[in-house]
Amino acid sequence: MTRSRRQAHLSDGQTPVVAPDDAHPELYDARPERFASSLGLTFANIALLRTALTHRSVLHDWAAVLPASDLPQSNERLEFLGDAYLGVIVAEYLYNLDVDAPEGVLTSRRVALVRAERLVSWARELNLGDYLFLGQGERVTESVRDRMLAGAFEAVIAAITLDQGLNAARVFLNRFLDRDVQVLPHEEASANPKGRLQELIQNRYRIGPVYRTIKIEGPDHSRTFTAEVLVLGQSLGTGQGGSKRDAEQAAAQMALEGITSGETYLLAAPATGEPQNTSRRSRRDAREE
């Protein structure tokens, strides 16, 4: 080839990989191969994994030295697909794990296992941040809620599935699921009840729970609030506290305990003709509330 920036030749249907000249070695290195090796995987199409590791921030830097026709994609499309695969694999795993668990319990556990914070912790176990292609000045922070790692982890799941099939992605995820499903009860006892209930209800109904203060007692300097949480008019729990927020947290905790134990039966989701899973954006917005 005479072009200074060469495009690798792959078979039909594979994603092209840009191989720049020696002047820009940072644009092409063995990061995907090294990451695959650390996972114990061999990719037939390593370009899929390269795309999974390409954060959108680096595209601006690459655009300065590559023609538009050679500019690779970021991992956002794979992230979208990996989010769907992750939901299917985790749901199937929980369904087979406990054949007697009611729908509400399964939903609560699935939400807990796919929350962004957990994906970030899994990504950190794999040192995923060390293999990402990032723009200048961009870095993986130490925040447990780092969305960059969560999205990249989902993109890696998609890359594995597309390259080797859904069963390979199951095997990849089982190393985490087998361990973390055991600690869910302990995590649920200490996590933010309102946040977890918000995510659970939004996942099922595409709306959030509604809180209302039903009683205020005591003098101004020492009030006791009683709050109730409702979904589609159904009361899921009540709670008391020294502030509206504490009362709502207590009500959410009661609701979660009822759902997890099976004592509270969630209403059927509205028949909208749409999948009940919310989008990744909606789920993550819920996590922040």
Q: What is the mean pLDDT of the chain?
A: 78
Are 51 and 73 a contacting pair, CB within 8 Å?
yes
Query: What's the mean pLDDT in 44-48?
Result: 94
**Residue 281's pLDDT is what?**
40
**Residue 138's pLDDT is what?**
63
Task: Just list the catalytic residues.
Answer: 83, 154
**Residue 102's pLDDT is what?**
84
Whether 53 has a pLDDT exceeding 50, the answer reads yes
Query: What digits encode the pLDDT tens for the residues 202-261?
Result: 888 888 899 999 999 988 777 889 999 999 889 999 999 888 988 998 999 899 888 877
**Residue 69's pLDDT is what?**
61
**Residue 105's pLDDT is what?**
80
d(CA 246, CA 285): 21
When pLDDT is cut at 50, 70 and 90, the band that residue 78 belongs to is very high
CA nearest neighbour of 74 among 148, 171, 162? 148
Q: Which residue has the higher pLDDT, 30 or 188?
A: 30
d(CA 274, CA 41): 36
**Residue 198's pLDDT is what?**
87
Largest CA distance in the chain: 84
Tokens standing for residue 162: 């597309």
**Residue 289's pLDDT is what?**
40
Whether 28 has a pLDDT exceeding 80, the answer reads no
Are 72 and 17 a contacting pair, CB within 8 Å?
yes
d(CA 276, CA 202): 9
Work out the number of other CB atoms within 10 angstroms of the CB of residue 7. Answer: 14
**Residue 77's pLDDT is what?**
94
**Residue 186's pLDDT is what?**
59
**Residue 209's pLDDT is what?**
93
Whether 80 has a pLDDT exceeding 90, the answer reads yes
**Residue 237's pLDDT is what?**
93
Global pTM value: 0.63
When pLDDT is cut at 50, 70 and 90, the band that residue 10 belongs to is very low
Query: What's the mean pLDDT in 101-107?
Result: 82
Task: Specify burial of residue 15 (Cβ count, 10 A radius: 0-12, 13-18, 19+).
Answer: middle
Tokens standing for residue 257: 């305990």
Query: What's the mean pLDDT in 34-57?
Result: 92
Write the DSSP string, the chain: ---SSEE----TTSPP-EE--TT-GGGS-SHHHHHHHHHT---S-HHHHHHHTB-THHHHHHHTTS-GGGPPP-SHHHHHHHHHHHHHHHHHHHHHH-TT--HHHHHHHHHHHHSHHHHHHHHHHTTGGGG-B--TT----S-TT-HHHHHHHHHHHHHHHHHH-HHHHHHHHHHHHHHHGGGHHHHHHHS-HHHHHHHHHHHHHSS--EEEEEEEES-GGG-EEEEEEEETTEEEEEEEESSHHHHHHHHHHHHHHHHHHTSSPPPPPP--SS-SSPPHHHHHHHHH-
Residue 118, phi then psi, degrees to nearest 5: -70, -40
Query: What digits encode the pLDDT tens for the residues 109-166?
Result: 888 898 888 999 999 999 999 998 887 766 666 554 577 899 999 999 999 999 999 9
When pLDDT is cut at 50, 70 and 90, the band that residue 285 belongs to is very low
Domains in the chain with CATH codes: 1-191 (1.10.1520.10), 207-266 (3.30.160.20)
Whether 101 has a pLDDT exceeding 80, the answer reads yes
Tokens standing for residue 223: 């009030």
* % residues pLDDT > 90 (the chain): 39
**Residue 122's pLDDT is what?**
95
